[in-house]
Structure 1
Amino acid sequence: MHDLKALRADPTAFDAALERRGLAPVGHKLVTDDEERRAALAALQDAQGARKVLAKEIGQGKKSGEDTSDLEARAVELRDEITRLEVHASTIEKNINDILMSLPNRLDPSVPDGKSEEDNVIVHYRGEKRDFPFAPKQHFELGEALGLMDFPTAAKLSGTRFVVLRGALARLERALGQFMLDTHTSEFGYHETSVPLLVNDEAMYGTDKLPKFAEDSFRTEDGRWLIPTAEVPLTATVMGEILPEKALPIRLTALSQCFRSEAGSAGRDVRGMLRQHQFTKCELVSIVAPEESEAEHERMTHAAETILERLGIAFRRVLLCAGDTGFGAAKTFDLEAWLPGQQAWREISSCSNTRDFQARRMKARYRSENGPAFVNTLNGSGLAVGRTLIALMETYQNEDGSIDVPEVLQPYMGHIKKIS
């Protein structure tokens, strides 16, 4: 949600920010509409004041036996005028809010211009791509050959974009999630949290998933939503709150199932586990004071990178350009892992700073020295477990189809060193 006061102060700058995202200008129109709304509210106050005065005159007139019919007729006119002004002001306010709710966050000045992922900027590379003496296979080829990755049974149960993992691969997925949680809680100060997988409209609106992304999520018959990411319930824990300043920063993590309809992704990543309707993710959420926001973004991204470094997976950090930055984000770093089987870099984590965009929608504030102020919220994957499993399988595969288990995961795997 955008700050209407800031918009009124500089609608030209607001429109320039929209233009960076390829959107048409609306700032000056919103200011004009808001002026009309404020004029209607001022007229409403005048009419309400006049009606109070008139009510006194009618009462005094009736006490003294005077004919008050003209005054009463005027009172009816004022009543109708008050109703009209209330409806008019309310309609304009709703239209303004609907427009503001539909507009993406303003981009951070450091975000590069660009229209698509082709214009994203590579910040750095970490790790070395493995040099294979054989042609590396993709994860689904490895998993199916091992008999531990079953897509036909999943399709029988649920349709496409689901998978059944068995035996050592199921355990490896669980081990990855536990390793991520242990690292983020013990080393980076995130507080482990178990969250509901169903949330209400308010939580989805507050975290900018509605109304724009309704088709990307699954809704139950009673009107609740399956979470697209644990970002929603974790961030929404402070919805409607005024936090004491000493409570900040708040750092939360959750390992949860996530559900996405993948609307519009027909034909993309059909084979394998890369794009699923249901997947596991270790989510990171930070709630901080505005002045700590930028440093927290770097800290969060470093925490996600640490997982990849310890797993020995080659990756790169990418700063998303204006045209590729998500709706709610002011700035986003993607971490892209190298998948030897695909011979491609694929996103495995996205760490975003939303500034006060979500906080305004959620009405989440803290008590600063100058009074209540909106917090800043950040979210990131630390990491997407399924995609990490893919990268690990393809990176640690052997020519005979077996998969080595990274040393850091062996304690979680009963100390087995190889899946074969």
Structure 2
Amino acid sequence: MIDVQILRDQPEIVRASQRARGNDEATVDAALAADTRRREAIRNFETLRAEQNARSKAIGKAAKEERPALLAEVKELSEQVKQAQAEVTAAESEFTTAAARIENLVADGVPAGGEDNFTVLKTVGERPTFDFTPRDHLEIGELIGGIDMARGAKVSGSRFHFLRGIGARLELAIMQLGLNKALEEGFVMLTPPTLVKPEIMQGTGFLGEHADEVYLLERQDLYLTGTSEVALAGYHADEIIDVTEPLRYVGWSTCYRSEAGSAGKDTRGIIRVHQFNKLEMFVYADPEIAQAEHERLLGWQEWMMNALGLHYRVIDTAAGDLGSSAARKYDVEAWVPTQETFRELTSTSNCTTFQARRLNTRFRSEGGRTQPVATLNGTLATTRWLVALLETHQRADGSVVVPEALRPYLGGLEVIEPEA
């Protein structure tokens, strides 16, 4: 949720942010009107309650003959106070609903526009070239016995798969490399729940326009998470925490996405699937250092790209392609040879205080006042990384060269050979 003081004092900033995202700025006027009604309801309630208290005190000092009339007045005021309190509750709910429709304020400098209006910040490494026709990741995965899509579909339906043998080990190696890097940088590892309550999913901003991407277990009233960001954001909900130094967590979990609305897109292989594994960084920080922390998260992601020998670029995502909670998002896209294009492997978002306001996660400033923390997230490894790795390091005979950084996690294996 955005800062209500900014909404009241600088509504044009909020309107401009909504426009940059391609959202209806009428949501701002609706929230302002709801805030006015809420404040009027609170004032009315407090005025009536003060009058009720004053009349109640007067009863003890009143003459005997005056008390019946005063008692009747207090009784009448009591009913009015109850009604006014109910109106406050309704107005609070109306405002919360209206304000929740406003997405996080876009950070200064974020490009305006939609999915194709990003800015390329840097391109790193050499584009892989081959003296043979390269195979795509699925063909390679099947040659080395590492990916089984057919049996995944047989067991669970389309867009499910088995990683087997070296494919499963290779995914695990990537995850372990990322985990060890995170631990070296002071992150605390968590294995979070992958089922969360509605208020946690709502608090992180995942039940907005992309709610149909999320799996819901209706009988249990729980959601399956598409990223451990959700559970990690809820870890300190309703708490006052110390962020003198940023609190850095890294969550290892299985993730689930329905991929609603993606019919016909990336149906081959493991680029866009319903279930995958993910290593997610999540940080709670003083808002004053959130931007610097965002750059650090990006730096660790780039470290992983370089360790895996991938050609990649970093883009500043346009406002219309941001998630509702993100003020700024960097995508790291690796080159996929058979598609002859860059594809997103990972991203990192600065959510400023947006999620923390919803989840009531606060810290004490130097003056002792509590205020919302900043939250940030970024993926450090995921199943999708196999796509770029297999295609980049393939050889003509179908074998794959293992990046040096992964060899210690694979018993020193240097080359993955095709199955006989």
Give, in angstroms, the shift of residue 325 of structure 1. 1.5
Identity of aligned residues (%): 36
In structure 1, the partner of 2:20 is 20
1:369 equivalent to 2:355? Answer no
1:233 matched to 2:231? The reply is yes
Residue 118 of structure 1, CA deviation: 1.4
Give the structure 1 partner of residue 169 of structure 2.
Answer: 171
Whole-angstrom distance in 2 between the partners of 1:202 and 1:33: 22
Aligned length: 414
**Does the Cα contact within 8 Å between 1:206 and 1:239 map onto a contact in 2?**
no
Q: Is the counterpart of residue 278 in structure 1 residue 275 in structure 2?
A: yes
**Alpha-carbon RMSD:** 1.9
- Counterpart contact for 2:38–2:95, Cα < 8 Å: no
Matched-pair contact (CA < 8 Å) for 2:213–2:259? yes
Match of 1:401 among 398, 403, 420: 398
Question: Which residue identity is paired with 1:38?
Answer: R
| Aligned residue identity for 1:217 | V
Tell me what 2:38 maps to: 37
Task: For residue 245 of structure 1, report the CA deviation from its aligned partner.
Answer: 4.2
30-39 or 267-276: bigger deviation = 30-39
Note closer, same or farther for the CA distance 1:109–1:67 as it changes in structure 2 (3 Å cut): closer
Change (3 A) 1:67 1:106: closer
Spell out structure 1 runs of 4+ moving beyond 6 A: none
The DSSP-based 3-state class of the residue aligned with 1:90 is helix
The answer to whether the Cα contact below 8 Å between 1:319 and 1:332 also exists between their aligned partners in 2 is yes
Displacement of 1:43:
1.8
> Of 182, 197, 210, which aligns to 2:194?
197
Question: 2-side partners of 1:245 and 1:158: how far apart?
Answer: 43
Q: CA deviation at 1:392?
A: 0.6
SS of the residue aligned with 1:242? Answer: coil
The separation in 2 between residues aligned to 1:409 and 1:303, in whole angstroms, is 16
Residue 74 of structure 1 deviates from its aligned partner by 4.0
Residue 64 of structure 1 aligns with which residue?
A: 64
- What's the offset of the Cα at 1:331? 0.3
Gap change, CA 1:418 and 1:45, over 3 Å in 2: same
- CA distance 1:211–1:130, change in 2 (3 Å): closer
The question of 1:103 aligning with 2:102 is answered yes
Contact 2:34–2:98 (CA<8 Å) still a contact in 1?
A: no
When structure 1 is superposed on structure 2, of 272-281 and 27-36 the one drifting more is 27-36
For residue 76 of structure 1, report the CA deviation from its aligned partner: 4.6
| Structure 1 residues 314-393: aligned runs within 5 Å | 314-370=311-367, 371-383=369-381, 385-393=382-390
What TM-score, normalized by structure 1, do the two folds share? 0.93
Structure 1 counterpart of 2:44, one-letter code: A
**Contact 1:12-1:28 at 8 Å conserved across structures:** no
For 2:22 and 2:395, locate their aligned partners in 1 and report how far apart those are by CA, in whole Å. 46
Task: For structure 1, list consecutive stretches of 5 or more residues without a partner in the other structure.
Answer: none
1:51 and 2:52 aligned:
yes
**In structure 2, the residue corresponding to 1:243 is in which secondary structure?**
coil
Instruction: Tell me the residue number matched to 1:87.
Output: 86
Q: TM-score scaled by structure 2?
A: 0.93
> Match of 2:5?
5
Tell me how far 1:406 sits from its aligned partner: 1.2
Q: CA deviation at 1:244?
A: 2.6
